[in-house]
Each structure stands twice: as structure tokens, then as C-alpha cells.
Chain A
Amino acid sequence: MASALINVPARAKRGDIIEIKTLMSHIMESGYRHKASGEAVPRDIITSFTCRFNGAEIFRADLFPAIAANPFFSFFTTVTESGKFEFEWIGDKGFSETASASISVE
């Protein structure tokens, strides 16, 4: 079961620059580790994180194995209208999760 934590202000003033914070549960197995038996542990990471606002991409990250487990991102955006943020995490082994958060802009 995956879980995500999203932190978006519920409301803001038009033109405000707001901070968005996201956490997604994921092991981020680097692919560079070996078991005690010598067997390689296959890579299993999130490779892409995207944030869209009312359908338009506002932030995207390409992730490599050097991103720590349970990836955390904080970034900024200028809000000009009320609407919905959509978040998408895509990764190895078919990993795909989405979440959304609404903001009311006055």
C-alpha cells in the first residue's frame, strides 16, 4: 500500500508564491546493493515526479538512485486562479501513483 503526504495551502491570494511539499512512500532500491549471498538487489526506484495545475505541468523531476527512500520534494508556484494540483509518481516495476489537492484563490 502506497501512501503520500501532500502539503498545499487550502487558500491563497491571487499572485501569491506558495510552497508545495510532497512525500511518497517508496523504498528507492538503488540497484547498487548486494545481498550477503552476493546476489544483486534489482533497481526499484521512482523515476519521475510531475505536478500539474489545472492540467498544465508546473514542475517535473527526474529521479536517480541517489534520491533517498520515501522521496521528498519542496517547490514553489505562483497561483493566479482557484483549481486543482495533480501529482504523479512513475517508477520501475510499473509503479504509478497519483494524488491531488485543491486551492481556493481569492
Chain B
Amino acid sequence: MRFLGAIAATLLVVGAVGAAEIPQADRRSGYSFMKPDTKTMQDDDTANPGMLWVLNGETLWNRKAGAADKACADCHGNARASMKGVAARYPAFDKATGRPIDLEQRINSCRTNHQQATPLAFESRELLSLTAFVARQSQGVPIETGADPQLAPFVAKGRELYMQRQGQLNLGCTNCHDDNWDKRLAGAAITQGHPTGYPLYRLEWQSLGSLQRRLRACITGIRAQAYDYGAPELVELELYLMSRARGMAMEAPAVRP
């Protein structure tokens, strides 16, 4: 509850200021807001706890699953080559559903359609591990999400959700992450909300988690009803945020406070 007071107090002061998008030149990864110790934790692969999931994901990548008795590697081969840059293009347009899907959903669609296996639960260790392993192959690759013109209406919807005030605190994402990113909320830096490092290891979680988990936490934070995992609104928000971060380097698995 104590956090709410801080949120409300910070934003009342600047409540009159309208939402303004961050100029390209001023965009900063959440990494740049961190203290040196946390940066070191991310930079050193053998000190970054997110690498435990990447390692686990590599095992799963090579393990046969489902009625088809196929492993990811049986179709996609060496992920270091085949998956390089892939996470930097997600969420991507899915022809089958005519909608954007995120990387977790893409992995599950592969499991269902090609491995004939049951989909993995959101935030399960298995799904986080596979996602982390795939995303790790794009480390350093500039984000390209949203380039596909078929995505345009969904990017627009995501932007609308990002701008829309909601919840008991009546806040939109933009009120913190565009208007107040240079300020602090209690002891924590308010970042610009660029999802460059997901799935990432959050010290608060003491675990790896997805962008959907982070978005749901933020929505709960403004006292709104969080969308369910996999809801179209969450994917549209992910899509907007990733396209907003276009050109920034992928960091997965990142570490954040």
C-alpha cells in the first residue's frame, strides 16, 4: 500500500503535463538506470542468474517432445544460427490467427502444431527457459518489431492502451514512462519502459519473468484489473512497446531491480 502513496504523490505534481513521446535521441534502456552492481550481474554471463534459464532452455531445445517425437532442433537446427535476430522481431504477425503473437505464443504454437505436444503454461519454468534460450540468440541485435505493415492496426491499438488512463489511480503507462522517466518512485528509478531484455531476471521476483508478467504487475500497481495471460490487449501492448523500442539492442536475459 505504501507504494501507492508514492505513485499518487509523484504524479499529482505533474498531472497537468500532457503525454509526450520520448525523442529517439533520448531513448535509454532500463540498463542505464541501474546501479553498477546490478549492471555487473547482467554483464557477466556466469553471474547472471537468467543464464540458468537459458541453459535449461538449451536442454529443452534439443529434447524430443509430443506425439510427433520431434525436438525444436530437429526442424530449426542450431539455434545460434537459426534463432539469431528472431526475438528482435516479436511480437510478429501470425497468418493462422490474423493477429500478432508474442515469442511465448509462437513457441506454444510450434509445440501444438509441429510437436503435437501440450502447450506450456505462461510463466512455467519450461516456457521461460525456451523463450530465454531463443531470445539470448538475439543479444545485441537491434529490435525490428513492427516493420510488417499487417501489424499497423495492432500497434495502434497497443499505443491506445498505453496512453489510456485506467484503474483507481487513473494512470496510463505514458504518465510514468514518457512524462516522468527521469524521476523516481520511492527508491526506484522510473524507466522509459523499453522491453529490451525480456524474459529478464528481476531481483524483486528472484526469478526470470516475461514481459506479460511485468505488464500485469504494472497494471495491478495502478489498481486496474490486469488482463489475463495471453489476452490480446497484453500482446498489443507488447507489440507497441517493442516497436517503440525499434533500433535499440536486445539484452535478454537482462537483470532489473
Contact = CB atoms under 8 A, between A and B. Distances in A.
B46 A5 contact: yes
B207 interface: yes
Interface in B115-131: 125
Q: Which of B49, B51, B53 has the most CB of A within 10 A?
A: B49
Contacts of B46: 5-7, 21, 23
A59 interface: no
Contact of B206 (A6, A21, A70): A70
Contacts of B55: 3, 5
Contacts of A4: 52
B214 to A, nearest CB: 18
A63 to B, nearest CB: 15
A47 B56 CA distance: 23
Given A5-B46, A7-B46, A23 B59 contact: no
B49 A23 contact: yes
B52 A3 contact: yes
B47 interface: yes
Nearest to A70: B49
Nearest to A69: B206
B51 A1 contact: no
Q: Which of A3, A28, A68, A69 has the most CB of B within 10 A?
A: A3
A25 interface: yes
Interface string B38-69: 00000001110101110110010000000000
Contacts, number: 41
Nearest to B51: A5
Count class of interface residues, chain B = 10 to 19
A76 interface: no
Interface in A46-72: 68-70, 72
A4 B46 CA distance: 10
Contacts of B125: 1
Contacts of B47: 21, 23, 72, 74
Contacts of B49: 23, 25, 69-70, 72
Contacts of B56: 1, 3, 25
A23 B207 contact: no
Nearest to B201: A70
Interface string B111-152: 000000000000001000000000000000000000000000
Contacts of B51: 5, 23
Given A68-B206, A70-B206, A5 B52 contact: yes
B215 to A, nearest CB: 22
Contacts of A3: 52-53, 55-56, 59
A36 to B, nearest CB: 14
Q: Give the 5 A-B CB pairs with smallest separation, nearest first.
A: A7-B46, A69-B206, A70-B49, A25-B52, A3-B56
Interface of B: 45-47, 49, 51-53, 55-56, 59, 125, 206-207
17 contacts: A1-B59, A1-B125, A3-B53, A3-B59, A4-B52, A5-B55, A6-B46, A23-B46, A23-B47, A23-B51, A25-B52, A27-B206, A28-B206, A69-B49, A69-B207, A70-B49, A70-B52
Interface of A: 1, 3-7, 21, 23-25, 27-28, 68-70, 72, 74
